[in-house]
């Protein structure tokens, strides 16, 4: 089956409405971090504080989302995501109100954290649905699931194109606070729709029959670190773009610069479905990590928003393949009944990395001053790519062994899941 036919088959199985709802439902999280950074830094004149608030949102989401994912594994996604969507929309609205009311900086950071704590991770939860959606397709299922993960990686990157771009546009036309209100509205509508979609009924319950199994092994912990490093890349690029655009007198351009990171990622992510199955995901992580290092280094040379755009866009060519391979490895090496918790843990690690990246880059940007702040922030990005390469070199053998063990156990697990 060709990749195009595989994608068509996936969308037939899930329905076109699901694809639209699952994509729009993940936009609020993509918008909330940059929106919080712009809102708080603009209100307090401090990149460091803005990065701290955005980081608090990311870290709190990293704490809350695995808990929600674990509950969803046991009870199903419908109620969990519905509650998260409504609470998240309210929390983002409250953060905007508190900022406009001039409440103290610590209060704003706490409120940003509360917003992150209750917001759903739609992307990881959408990945969980593809295995039950494709159940009954026989020998095609593995190919379909791999293609689904490629699509989800591209969809995540597309959300990080449209989300920051939407934040930038609304910030220019209305205000940074307006961008968070738009995010709240999207979450209330499409987060709820994602929760109520028929595919949500296919999740949950398997853990009661298959048993929990061990989730966090050494190989999986290394995958979490890999995702933390990609999160550091996201946070530092976002902060560097903000510092660069502000210094150029175009603060609204920050969203556009960061959005270009996802342009190349979307194309590269969809293209990973064309890779031969014989190229294992452990090898793909290593190849993508090399790409991150080579394509990230030029960030240290950018001097204006115009020069940053192509560099950031080209860097994106390595981001989606890296993330897709990491999430695919995670899905293969954990027990089938724990995939929801695994996907949200990987997303949570991304959030922790984002917090580290945005917070560290923000402090370095403040210390370096307006003219050199963006270079200091981008140095965090380059460091993260180098560490990602070292991690891939060291851990690739362990990942390959873990996948082999998972494949050995796949047939009995599939037989058990058929009873669910």
**Which tokens hold the place of 228?**
């933390």
pLDDT interval class at 418 (50, 70, 90)? very low
> How do the domains of the chain map onto residue ranges?
3-412
Please give the pLDDT value at position 62: 81
**Which tokens hold the place of 182?**
């738009």
CB 314 within 8 A of CB 396: no
**Which tokens hold the place of 311?**
């560099």
pLDDT digits (tens, 9 = 90+) for 145-162: 888 888 888 888 788 778
Q: Enter the CATH code of domain 3-412.
A: 1.20.1250.20
Q: How many residues does the chain have?
A: 420
pLDDT digits (tens, 9 = 90+) for 243-273: 888 888 877 677 778 778 877 778 787 777 7
Q: How far, in Å, CA of 72 to CA of 8, rounded?
A: 28
Least confident of 121-125, 312-316, 401-405: 401-405
H or E stretch covering 128: helix 122-133
Least confident of 89-93, 105-109, 183-187, 199-203: 199-203
Residue 286 half-sphere exposure toward CB, CA atoms < 13 A: 14
Distance of CA 44 to the CA centre of its chain: 27
Distance of CA 389 to the CA centre of its chain: 20
pLDDT digits (tens, 9 = 90+) for 370-407: 778 889 999 999 999 999 999 999 999 998 888 887 65
Q: How far, in Å, CA of 141 to CA of 145, rounded?
A: 6
**Which tokens hold the place of 299?**
């960030």
169: how many CB neighbours lie within 10 A of its CB? 17
**pTM metric for this prediction:** 0.76
Q: How far, in Å, CA of 316 to CA of 265, rounded?
A: 5
DSSP annotation of 190 reads I
**Which tokens hold the place of 282?**
């452990």
Q: Which one is predicted more confidently, 178 or 413? A: 178
pLDDT > 70 in the chain, percent: 93
**Per-residue pLDDT for 419 more than 60?**
no
pLDDT interval class at 1 (50, 70, 90)? low
Please give the pLDDT value at position 247: 83
Least confident of 118-122, 173-177, 231-235, 300-304: 173-177
pLDDT interval class at 414 (50, 70, 90)? very low
């Amino acid at each position: 089956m060709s990749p195009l036919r595989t994608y068509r088959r996936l969308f037939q199985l899930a329905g076109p409405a699901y694809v639209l709802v699952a994509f729009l439902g993940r936009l609020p999280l993509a918008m909330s971090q940059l929106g919080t950074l712009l809102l708080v830094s603009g209100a307090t004149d401090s990149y460091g504080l803005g990065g701290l608030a955005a980081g608090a949102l990311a870290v709190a989401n990293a704490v809350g989302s695995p808990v929600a994912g674990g509950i969803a594994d046991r009870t199903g996604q419908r109620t969990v995501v519905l509650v998260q969507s409504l609470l998240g929309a309210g929390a983002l609205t409250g953060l905007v109100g508190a900022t406009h009311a001039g409440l103290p900086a610590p209060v704003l950071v706490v409120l940003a954290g509360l917003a992150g704590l209750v917001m759903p991770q739609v992307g990881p939860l959408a990945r969980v649905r593809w295995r039950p959606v494709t159940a009954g397709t026989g020998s095609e299922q593995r190919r379909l699931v791999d293609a689904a993960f490629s699509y989800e990686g591209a969809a995540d990157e597309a959300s990080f194109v449209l989300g920051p771009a939407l934040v930038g546009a609304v910030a220019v036309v209305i205000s940074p606070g307006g961008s968070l209100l738009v995010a709240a509205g999207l979450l209330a509508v499409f987060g709820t729709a994602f929760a109520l979609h028929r595919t949500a009924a296919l999740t949950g319950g398997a853990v009661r029959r298959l048993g929990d199994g061990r989730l966090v092994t050494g190989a999986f912990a290394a995958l979490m670190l890999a995702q933390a490093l990609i999160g550091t890349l996201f946070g530092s690029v976002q902060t560097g773009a903000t510092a660069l655009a502000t210094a150029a007198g175009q603060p609204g351009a920050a969203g556009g610069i960061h959005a270009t990171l996802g342009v190349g990622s979307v194309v590269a992510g969809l293209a990973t479905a064309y890779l031969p199955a014989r190229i294992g995901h452990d090898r793909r992580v290593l190849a993508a990590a090399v790409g991150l290092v080579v394509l990230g280094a030029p960030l240290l040379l950018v001097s204006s928003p115009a020069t940053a755009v192509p560099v950031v866009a080209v860097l994106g060519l390595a981001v989606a393949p890296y993330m897709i391979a990491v999430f695919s490895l995670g899905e293969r090496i954990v027990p089938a009944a724990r995939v929801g918790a695994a996907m949200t843990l990987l997303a949570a690690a991304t959030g922790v990395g984002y917090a580290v990246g945005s917070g560290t880059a923000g402090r370095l940007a403040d210390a370096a001053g307006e003219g050199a702040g963006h270079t200091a922030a981008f140095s965090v990005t380059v460091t993260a790519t180098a560490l990602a390469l070292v991690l891939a070199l060291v851990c690739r053998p362990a990942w390959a062994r873990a996948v082999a063990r998972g494949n050995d156990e796949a047939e009995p697990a599939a037989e058990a899941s058929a009873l669910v």
